[in-house]
Amino acid sequence: MALKFFNTLSRSVEEFAPRDARGKRVGLYCCGPTVHDFAHIGNFRTFVFADLARRCLEFKGYAVRHVMNITDVEDKIIRRARETKTALRDYTAKFEAAFFEDFQALHCLRPHETPRASEQIADIIALIEKLMARGVAYRAPDGSVYFSIEKYQGGGGHYGRLVKLNFEEMRPGERVSSDEYAKEAAADFALWKARAPEDGAVFWPSPWGEGRPGWHIECSAMSMKCLGPSFDLHLGGEDLIFPHHEDEIAQSEGAGAQAAGEPFVKYWLHGAHLLVEGKKMSKSLGNYFTLRDLLAKGFTGREVRYLLLTAHYRESFNFTLEGLQGARAALGRIDEWLGKLRGVAGVATSPPDMGLLAPFVEAVENDLNVSTAWGHIFAWIRPMNKLMEEGKVRPDLAASTLAAWDKIDSVLGIGARDEFNVPEELNSLLEARQAARRAKDFKRSDAIRDELKAKGWAIEDTPKGPRLKRM
Ligand SMILES: [Zn+2]
């Protein structure tokens, strides 16, 4: 069976055929985090979806080159660094490190390359120079450089591949300088932003004067540098379709680096957005969660990943704390099943049971249909548990089931129960309990123990002192 993906370009499910003539190498780019704050759970839905796509491609035998940029120069970052009187790199380093910690906690495979925009300025300038030379970019009186949609269209380019635009309403020559704007405000967009007083020390020299890159050009420059002018897959959240991805296509194809007839990107995949407790996430509604917030409530990255992977990536999904409890219960059923299987299998080995594996593969190959895939898995677990209870499962059957699960898990990345992966906040609580005990404040130490217990953690005494263990 071939792998199929919904391509936003054609708005249909297409069979995946890599550009590589030998059919092996695949280039995959996913827009990375803007490191202005801790990433929220909606951001991570996109990264878990990209991780699933990559794992599925690797399962099918493709040699995937996965690139994810780090946006570390952008309007919001500059504003926050200024407000906190911090140098840009010092400000972003903290959030970048936190991002990769969270990424790992969610069992996401590290991309092969993670270029930072601030370190790719020469390539960004070279790309803008190409656009200038081809007459599709111009320097405005304010010293900024803009992309001309009219010139691009006049030269045979097509602006509006991913979204339908009403060109009648667009006024040629109008400009939009901010990185984020709505379809109705589509106009010439900034490639290079002239240095402004509020940018502080964040500027670089360029042929057009001092300034900094716009957000959209960063991704065109970094993706083409790492993967070449044409590559297979570009992923991101649906909120990036316009203007970010539309602008990426215009800039990359406008520079004319592709071979004749080759697009910048063959397949565009977009993940749907996330609702939390039935509403759009917002700090004022109290339904805004970073991964850290959820870990502090006692959930694990594995439970969060599982919940995010229960819904198809193109469906909007309602993420709830109750859903996380359900994820914990479901993982408990899987762990129990695997534990029993290991007990029965002992040292036996066997090839994967295709009765379990084949329907799973068929489901994920079909545009990553994980909901159907989980349906198959749980339909397998229930009767098998019953048979094991009755002592009717032989070691070779248990071993072949475990072999099938290993293959399945290489795609889902659920992994084993992370018993000792303790969130930092909980370790601080454990330390506070030790301090209370030393001070003979047993009331407080018992209260902390109960709080940890309520979060699903038990205190275990070891020769090296106490540590936390999942209950
Ligand atoms: Zn991007």
Q: Which pLDDT score, from 0 to 100, does residue 458 have?
A: 84
The answer to whether residue 270 scores a pLDDT higher than 80 is yes
DSSP assignment, residue 239?
A: G
Asked which of 5-9, 88-92, 423-427 is least confident by mean pLDDT, the reply is 423-427
- Say if residue 184 is exposed, middle or buried (CB neighbours under 10 Å; 0-12, 13-18, 19+): exposed
Residue at 324: amino acid letter? L
List all residues 6 or more positions away from 267 whose beta carbon is below 8 Å from its beta carbon.
5, 7, 9, 14, 16, 232, 233, 234
How many whole angstroms from 129 Cα to the centroid of ligand 1?
20
Rounded to an integer, the average pLDDT of 340-353 is 92
Residue 420, pLDDT score: 54
Cβ 468 vs Cβ 455: under 8 Å: no
Tell me, in angstroms, the distance from the centre of ligand 1 to residue 75's CA: 15
- Measured in Å, residue 162 CA sits from the centre of ligand 1 at 14
pLDDT at site 258:
96
Percent of the chain with pLDDT over 70: 98
pLDDT tier at 184, thresholds 50, 70, 90? confident
- Work out the angle between the directed axes of helices 354-365 and 370-389 (0-180°, nearest 10): 170
Which pLDDT does position 285 carry in this prediction?
A: 87
Which residues, chain by chain, have CB under 5 Å from ion ligand 1? Answer: 31, 219
Q: Which pLDDT band holds residue 419 (cuts at 50, 70, 90)? A: low
CA 467 to centroid of ligand 1, rounded, Å: 42
Q: Which residue has the higher pLDDT, 169 or 43?
A: 43
Q: Which of 356, 302, 355 is nearest to 330 (CA)?
A: 302
232-269 pLDDT per residue, tens: 999 999 999 999 999 999 999 999 999 999 999 999 99
The candidate with the shortest Cα–Cα distance to 401, out of 347, 345, 359, 361, is 345
Give the distance (Å) from ligand 1 centre to CA of residue 256.
19
For residue 84, the one-letter residue type is T
Instruction: Give the C-alpha separation, 96 to 112, whole Å.
Output: 16
Cα 35 to ligand 1 centroid, rounded to whole Å: 13
The CA 356 to ligand 1 mean position distance, Å, reads 38
pLDDT for the residue 462: 75
Q: Determine the pLDDT at residue 309.
A: 98
In the reported structure, the alpha carbon of residue 457 is separated from the centroid of ligand 1 by a whole-number distance in angstroms of 39
The mean-pLDDT minimum among 198-212, 238-252, 416-430 falls in 416-430
Rounded distance from Cα 166 to ligand 1 centre (Å) = 24
Question: What is the pTM (predicted TM-score) of this model?
Answer: 0.89
What value does the mean pLDDT take over residues 53-78? 96
CA 183 to ligand 1 centroid distance, Å: 17
Span 415-436, average pLDDT: 78
DSSP 297-309: TT--HHHHHHHHT
Ligand 1 centroid to 240 CA: how many Å?
A: 8
**Residue 407, pLDDT score:** 97
Question: How many Cα atoms sit within 13 Å of 350 on the Cβ side?
Answer: 20
Q: Is the pLDDT of residue 283 over 70?
A: yes
Residue 169's pLDDT is what?
A: 73
- Residue 469 and residue 458: Cα distance in Å, rounded? 5
Instruction: Give residue 453 CA to ligand 1 midpoint distance, Å.
Output: 42
Q: How far is the CA of 362 from the centre of ligand 1 (A)?
A: 31
Residue 346: what pLDDT?
Answer: 87
Give 44 Cα–ligand 1 centroid separation in angstroms. 15
pLDDT at 149: 93
pLDDT score, position 166:
79
**For residue 418, pLDDT beyond 70:** no
Q: What is the pLDDT of residue 54?
A: 98
Q: Are 402 and 338 in contact (CB under 8 A)?
A: yes
Compute the distance between CA of residue 166 and CA of residue 180 in angstroms, rounded to an integer. 18
Q: How confident is the model at residue 421 (pLDDT cuts 50, 70, 90)?
A: low
Average predicted confidence (pLDDT) for the chain: 93
Burial of 41 (0-12, 13-18, 19+ CB in 10 A): buried
Q: Quick check: 441 pLDDT over 70?
A: yes
